[in-house]
Amino acid sequence: MQDKPDRLEAARIEKLQRIEALGIDPWGQRFDNHIGIGAAREKCPEESGVDGDTVRVCGRIMLQNDRGKLKFFHIQDWSGRIQLWISQKDVDEKTWALIDCLDLGDQVGVEGLVKKTRTGEISVFVKQLCILGKSLATPPEKFHGAKDVEMLLRQRYLDLIYNEGVLDRMLRRTKIISSIRNTLNSRGFVEVETPVLHAIAGGAAARPFITHHNALSIPLYLRIALELHLKRLMVGGVERVYEIGRVFRNEGIDATHNPEFTMTEIYQAYGNYETMMELTEAIVTDACLVANGTLQVQWGDKAIDFTRPWKRARYGDLFKEHAGCDMRDQEAVAAVAKKLHIEVAGRDPDVIINDVFEATVEDALIGPIFVTDYPAKMCPLTKRKWGEPDIAERFECFVWGMELANAYTELNDPRLQEELFRTQLSGLAEEDSMAKMDHEFVQALKVGMPAAGGLGIGIDRLIMLLTNSRSIRDIIYFPLMKPEHAGGATEAEAQPAVE
RNA sequence: GAGUGCGUAGCUCAGUCGGUAGAGCAACGGACUUUUAAUCCGUAGGUCGUGGGUUCAAGUCCCACCGCACUCACCA
């Protein structure tokens, strides 16, 4: 059902009909042999009034300035903006009539000489013009633009059109992701796709989204991690494997969390977590150079230097430095925890250590820094250090308190894996635990997975760091928004009765 | 989930102590062949987020709800 057109839309529909009456398709036809506006600008002679090349360009009308028999338009494509100079004496009668029907926001294609006006503005002196798409919606105010955050997120296309830098930032996102692929592909990794719908949402500690398969009549979960399927592929002999894909976590939304986000997980047979440190440095520095051309970048009012090698520090040493006690000294840790108002009673010592670490250490990590060798009980998918069963061969990489990467020497002992899946730490809710029994995964490990290193990188956070974006919403085209009006799937549809 | 703030024309925003809803841009009609957010003359355009309440009178005060933002909580 269409809404009743408002008065502004009605005016545009009236022009649309006038264009049709001229025998012209207001929605446009193909427009061949055009060049980008950025490229057209480069063809303009330095000196005003000197003819340059004939160019064909197309784009959206952003500004118009009607001087009667002379009209100026500014059009924009994704490479830039250029002024059109349209004199009645330069175009035929039908074109002039068409030009009278143009509105801000319409798409046009033009051909003409590129040269500077008397005032030095690079312009296309139009000889031919055609319409390539009518716009029925009134654009935002020409000077102040569109500012309403809610409108810009719900109608991201307006943000992309009218706010400078938004499209450029999103295109840098694409470049960063292709850089990651290039780095991995050049090292012999293969990209795969694994299921999004999981019978058991494992591989991370997060609450899943629940859905339902009608024909099978079973509940399914949207994946919260890529880990367990990629490791099955390691068992199958896919020695260097990665996936870049969407994962879903049913948690709160804020400047660094969107319910669906992109991550990559990478596994390398016969490597370990130190192999993954080198790989992390390579992926991030390659991407940083592609996005910024330098390894020194701004992060708000702070600076980040990604020059290799990055610092490394053991978890236990950082704990001692910032929390002020040895993490193996349970009484001392409990005392520090109490001071920080962290619950102690009935909770596993490693859970308390983890809370104290997050409260005292993480925000102090400027980075980039690899924090290594975690308390083992928090890491049910990680290999223990040989001869040190309380320490897991894991690192997390931090930059300005933000977790950028997480990697393990992968646990490939099926019997230990099965035991760890069974072990729920006291003080940790089941949904907050990584330990979820997955017999099929344990069966895969029994077949034999090679010793291996595995690495996970939150792509959105990496892009935030590399594009100096303080909000995850700035680098996701369509972040989740609550529907403005009731609609979409009903609760009954979303969670059908399961017998 | 809690607290604070915001929601007025298509857009950007005013709206005083509760007293007839305003401006600029955009639109429509007119003038204009070197404008740069052109300028000038004229016209039209409103469910003040939604629903209640108080009041002679509500954009304004009160209550509930919806959406957004920020802070906090949650977020291996």
ipTM: 0.92
Cβ-based contacts (< 7 Å) between A 335-364 and strand B: 354
A295-316 per-residue burial string, b: 16 or more CB within 10 A, e: under 16: eebebeeeebebeeebeebebb
3 state DSSP class of A410 = strand
Measured CA to CA, the distance from residue A491 to residue A124 in angstroms comes to: 55
What are the start-end ranges of the E strands in A78-187? 80-87, 107-116, 122-133
A87 has which bridge partners?
A70
Residue with tokens 């060049």: A35
Separation of alpha carbons A9 and A55, rounded Å? 33
Would you say the C-beta of A163 is within 7 Å of strand B?
Answer: no
Q: Could you write out the three-class secondary structure of A212-250?
A: EECCCCEEEEECCCCHHHHHHHHHCCCCEEEEEEEEECC
Query: How does pLDDT run across A186-216, given as a tens digit for each residue?
Result: 999 999 999 999 999 889 888 899 999 999 9
List Cβ neighbours of A57 (8 Å cut-off, separation of 6 or more): A34, A35, A36, A37, A40, A75, A77, A82, A109, A110, A124
Answer yes or no: is A386 CB < 7 A from strand B: no
- Chain B nucleotides with an atom closer than 7 Å to a protein C-beta: 1, 10-13, 24-28, 31-39, 44-45, 66-76
| Backbone angles phi and psi of A109, in degrees to 5 | -125, 140
Low-confidence ranges of chain A (pLDDT < 50): 1-3, 487-499
Name the closest residue (CA) to the C1' of nucleotide B67.
Answer: A484
Residue A464, CB, strand B, below 7 Å: no
- As a whole number of angstroms, the longest Cα–Cα distance in chain A is 90
C1' of B55 to CA of A484 (Å)? 33
pLDDT of residue A492: 39
- Span CA (A485) to C1' (B50), Å: 11
Looking across all nucleic acid strands, the nucleotide with the smallest C1' to CA distance from residue A227 is B76
Considering only residues 214-253 of chain A, list those whose CB is below 7 Å from strand B: 225, 249, 251-252
Q: Let me know: does A318 contact A371? Beta carbons within 8 Å.
A: yes
- Residues 184-213 of A near strand B (Cβ < 7 Å)? 204-206
Confidence (pLDDT) at A87:
97
Give the closest nucleotide to A158 (alpha carbon vs C1'): B11
Query: Which residues lie below 8 Å from residue A333, measured CB to CB, with a gap of 6+?
Result: A323, A325, A327, A349, A352, A353, A356
Query: Do you find a cis peptide bond into A368, omega within 30 degrees of 0?
Result: yes
d(CA A384, CA A392): 4
Nearest to A195 by CA among A181, A211, A182: A211
Q: Is the CB of A165 under 7 A from strand B?
A: no
C-alpha A244/C-alpha A249 separation (Å) is 16
The answer to whether A66 and A155 have CB atoms below 8 angstroms apart is no
Q: Which nucleotide is nearest to A486 (CA to C1')?
A: B66
Task: Say which amino acid occupies A390.
Answer: D
Q: Which residue is nearest to nucleotide B13 (CA to C1')?
A: A144
Q: Pairing mode, if any, of strands A311-314 and A369-375?
A: parallel
CA of A301 to C1' of B41 (A): 51
Q: Is the CB of A155 under 7 A from strand B?
A: no
**Cα A198 from Cα A125, distance rounded (Å):** 59
Q: What is the pLDDT of residue A176?
A: 97
Question: How far is residue A225's CA from residue A206's CA, in Å, rounded to a whole number?
Answer: 9
Distance A66 CA to B42 C1' (A): 18
Hey, which residues does A392 pair with through a beta bridge?
A374, A384
Closest nucleotide to A87's CA, by C1' atom? B33
Residue nearest to nucleotide B39 (CA to C1'): A67
Q: How many residues does chain A have?
A: 499
Q: Using the CB atom, is residue A431 less than 7 Å from strand B?
A: no
The reported pLDDT for the residue numbered A251 is 87
Q: What is the pLDDT of residue A445?
A: 96
Enclosing H/E stretch for A460: helix A459-467
Contact present, A319 and A327 (Cβ < 8 Å): yes
Query: Is the bond into A309 cis (omega within 30 degrees of 0)?
Result: yes
C1' of B39 to CA of A64 (Å): 14
**Contact indicator for A45, A51 with CB cutoff of 8 Å:** yes
Distance A486 CA to B28 C1' (A): 36
Q: Which stretches of A400-439 are assigned E, i.e. beta strand?
A: 402-409
Task: Give the DSSP letter of residue A175.
Answer: H
Predicted TM-score (pTM) of this structure = 0.92
